[in-house]
Amino acid sequence: MTLRQKSMTYAVVVPFAILLAFPFYFALVTMFKTNLDLANVEHSPYLYNDLEGGFHWDFWNYATTEHVRFLFEDTNYPKWLLNTLLVGAAVVGITLLLAMPAGYALARLAGGWGQTAGVGIFLIYLVPPTLLFLPLSRLITQLDLKDSLWSLILIYPSFTVPFATWLLMGFFKTIPQELEDAALVDGASRLKALYLIILPISLPGILTVVIFAFSLCVNEFIYAFTFISSSEQRTVSAGIPNDLIRGDVFFWQSLMAATLIPAIPLALLYNAFLDRFIKGFTGGAFR
Amino acid sequence: MADASDELVQESSALTRSDLLKKGTAAAFAVGMFGALPEKSFGFAGPMKFAKKQLAGDLRIMQWAHFVPAYDQWLDNTYIKRWGEANDVEVKVDHINNALLYSTAASQVAAQSGHDLFWFISPPSTFQKQVVPLNDIVQEVTKKLGPMTKVARKSTYNPKTKQFYGFPDDYAPDPVQYRRSYLQEAGVSLNTWEDLRKGAPKLKAIGHPVGLGMSNEIDSNMLLASLLYCYGGFIQNEENRIVIGQGSNRKGAIQALQVMRDIYRNGMSDEVFAWTAASNNQAFLAGRLSVALNAISIARSAENSGNTALADDTWLASIPRGPVMRLGNEHVMGVFVMWKFAKNKEAAKKYLVDQQLAYREHFIRSGYYNFPAWTGAIKGGFKEIRRMTAQDPHKPKGKYTILTTIAEKYTTNPGHPGNTTPVIDEIFQTWLLPQMFAEVAQGKMTPAEGVSAFARKANAIYRKWKNQGLV
pLDDT digits (tens, 9 = 90+) for A119-129: 888 888 888 88
pLDDT band of A246, cuts 50, 70, 90: confident
SS3 B242: strand
Closest CA to B336 of B136, B95, B156: B156
Given this model, what pLDDT does residue B20 score?
47
Number of inter-chain CB pairs under 8 A, A vs B: 123
Instruction: List alpha helices for A105-235, DSSP H.
Output: 113-125, 129-142, 149-155, 157-173, 177-185, 190-193, 199-201, 203-219, 222-227
Task: Please state, in angstroms and rounded to a whole number, the distance separating the CA atoms of residues B471 and B246.
Answer: 19
B123, B330 Cβ separation under 8 angstroms: no
B219 CB within 8 Å of a chain A CB: yes
Q: What is the dihedral of CA A187, A190, A193, A198, to 10 degrees?
A: 160
Given this model, what pLDDT does residue B406 score?
97
Average pLDDT rounded to a whole number, residues B455-465: 98
Q: Do B97 and A83 touch (CB under 8 A)?
A: no
Task: Please state, in angstroms and rounded to a whole number, the distance separating the CA atoms of residues B145 and B147.
Answer: 7
**Does B1 score more than 50 pLDDT?**
no
B96: closest CA of chain A, how far (Å) = 5
Residue of A nearest to B276 (CA): A248
Residue of A nearest to B39 (CA): A148
What are residue B314's phi and psi, to 5 degrees?
-95, 110
The enclosing H or E element of B108 equals helix B101-111
Q: Do A243 and B40 touch (CB under 8 A)?
A: no
SS3 B163: strand
Residue of A nearest to B294 (CA): A248
B371: closest CA of chain A, how far (Å) = 16
A238: closest CA of chain B, how far (Å) = 9
Average pLDDT rounded to a whole number, residues B98-112: 89
B301 CB within 8 Å of a chain A CB: yes
Q: Which residue has the higher pLDDT, A206 or A124?
A: A206
What are residue B215's phi and psi, to 5 degrees?
-130, 170
B73 CB within 8 Å of a chain A CB: yes
Taking the CA atoms of A188, A192, A194 and A197 in sequence, report the sign of the dihedral they define.
negative
Q: Which residue has the higher pLDDT, A166 or A110?
A: A166
Given this model, what pLDDT does residue A3 score?
87
Residue of A nearest to B60 (CA): A230
Cα dist from B15 to A109, B4, B8, B9, B11, whole Å: 39, 19, 14, 12, 9
Sequence-ordered list of residues with C-beta below 8 angstroms from that of A143, at least 6 positions apart, any chain = A151, A154
Given this model, what pLDDT does residue A137 score?
87
Q: Do B36 and A82 touch (CB under 8 A)?
A: yes
Centre a 10 Å sphere on the Cβ of residue B189 and count the other Cβ atoms it contains: 13
Average pLDDT rounded to a whole number, residues B86-103: 92
pLDDT digits (tens, 9 = 90+) for A32-66: 999 888 877 788 999 999 888 888 888 889 999 99
Weakest mean pLDDT among B7-11, B189-193, B256-260: B7-11
Given this model, what pLDDT does residue A281 score?
67
Average pLDDT, chain B: 90
Q: Which residue has the higher pLDDT, A179 or B427?
A: B427
pLDDT digits (tens, 9 = 90+) for B189-224: 999 999 999 999 999 999 999 999 999 999 999 999
Weakest mean pLDDT among A196-210, B242-256, B380-394: A196-210
Sequence-ordered list of residues with C-beta below 8 angstroms from that of B359, at least 6 positions apart, any chain = B170, B370, B372, B374, B377, B378
Closest CA to B388 of B374, B380, B328, B396: B380
B400, B296 Cβ separation under 8 angstroms: yes
Task: Write the residue in B40, B66, B113 that is nearest to A150 by C-beta.
Answer: B40
Given this model, what pLDDT does residue B23 score?
52
Q: Do A148 and B40 touch (CB under 8 A)?
A: yes
Average pLDDT rounded to a whole number, residues B425-454: 98
Which residues on chain A are in Cβ contact (under 8 Å) with B115? 229
Closest CA to B66 of B430, B369, B274: B369
Sequence-ordered list of residues with C-beta below 8 angstroms from that of A19, at least 6 positions apart, any chain = none
B149, B319 Cβ separation under 8 angstroms: no
SS3 B456: helix
pLDDT digits (tens, 9 = 90+) for B390-405: 999 999 999 999 999 9
Q: Do A138 and B92 touch (CB under 8 A)?
A: no
Q: Do B97 and A241 touch (CB under 8 A)?
A: yes
SS3 B308: helix
Task: Write the residue in A241, A246, A251 that is nearest to B66 by C-beta.
Answer: A246
**Does B56 score more than 80 pLDDT?**
no
Which residues on chain A are in Cβ contact (under 8 Å) with B25? none
pLDDT band of A175, cuts 50, 70, 90: confident
Percent of chain A with pLDDT over 90: 48
Task: Please state, in angstroms and rounded to a whole number, the distance separating the CA atoms of residues B377 and B390.
Answer: 19
Q: Do B288 and A41 touch (CB under 8 A)?
A: yes
pLDDT digits (tens, 9 = 90+) for B175-191: 999 999 999 999 999 99
Weakest mean pLDDT among A269-283, B237-251, B313-327, B424-438: A269-283
Task: Please state, in angstroms and rounded to a whole number, the distance separating the CA atoms of residues A240 and A258.
Answer: 7
Q: Which residue has the higher pLDDT, A163 or B444?
A: B444
B166, B105 Cβ separation under 8 angstroms: no
pLDDT band of B45, cuts 50, 70, 90: very low
Given this model, what pLDDT does residue B99 score?
87
Task: Write the residue in A133, A148, A249 that is nearest to B39 by C-beta.
Answer: A148
pLDDT digits (tens, 9 = 90+) for B135-187: 999 999 999 999 999 999 999 999 999 999 999 999 999 999 999 999 999 99
Given this model, what pLDDT does residue B335 score?
98
pLDDT band of A113, cuts 50, 70, 90: confident
Q: What share of chain B is helix, strand, coil (3-state, %, to 5)?
A: 55, 15, 35
Which residues on chain B are in Cβ contact (under 8 Å) with A74? 69, 73
pLDDT digits (tens, 9 = 90+) for B329-356: 999 999 999 999 999 999 999 999 999 9
Given this model, what pLDDT does residue A107 score?
87
Cα dist from A157 to A117, A133, A217, B18, whole Å: 18, 14, 9, 29
Centre a 10 Å sphere on the Cβ of residue B458 and count the other Cβ atoms it contains: 23
Average pLDDT rounded to a whole number, residues A234-254: 91
pLDDT digits (tens, 9 = 90+) for B282-298: 899 888 999 999 999 99
Q: Which residues of B59-92 are buried (b: 16+ CB within 10 A; e: fewer)?
A: bbbbbbbbbbbebbebbbeebbeebbeebebbbb
Q: Which residues of A32-57 are buried (b: 16+ CB within 10 A; e: fewer)?
A: bbbbbbbbbeebeeeebbeeeeeeee
Task: Please state, in angstroms and rounded to a whole number, the distance separating the CA atoms of residues B446 and B451.
Answer: 9
Given this model, what pLDDT does residue A57 score?
85
DSSP conformation class of B104: H
One-letter amino acid for residue B144 of the chain: K
Given this model, what pLDDT does residue A283 score?
61
**Does A91 score more than 90 pLDDT?**
yes
Residue of A nearest to B72 (CA): A246
**Does B412 score more than 90 pLDDT?**
yes
B135 CB within 8 Å of a chain A CB: no
B285: closest CA of chain A, how far (Å) = 7
Task: Write the residue in B97, B111, B278 that is nearest to A242 by C-beta.
Answer: B97
B128, B166 Cβ separation under 8 angstroms: no
Percent of chain B with pLDDT over 70: 88
A253: closest CA of chain B, how far (Å) = 12
| Beta strands, E only, B321-443 | 328-329, 332-338, 371-372, 411-412
B417: closest CA of chain A, how far (Å) = 27
**Does B29 score more than 70 pLDDT?**
no
pLDDT band of B42, cuts 50, 70, 90: very low
Pairing of strands B89-96, B328-329: unpaired
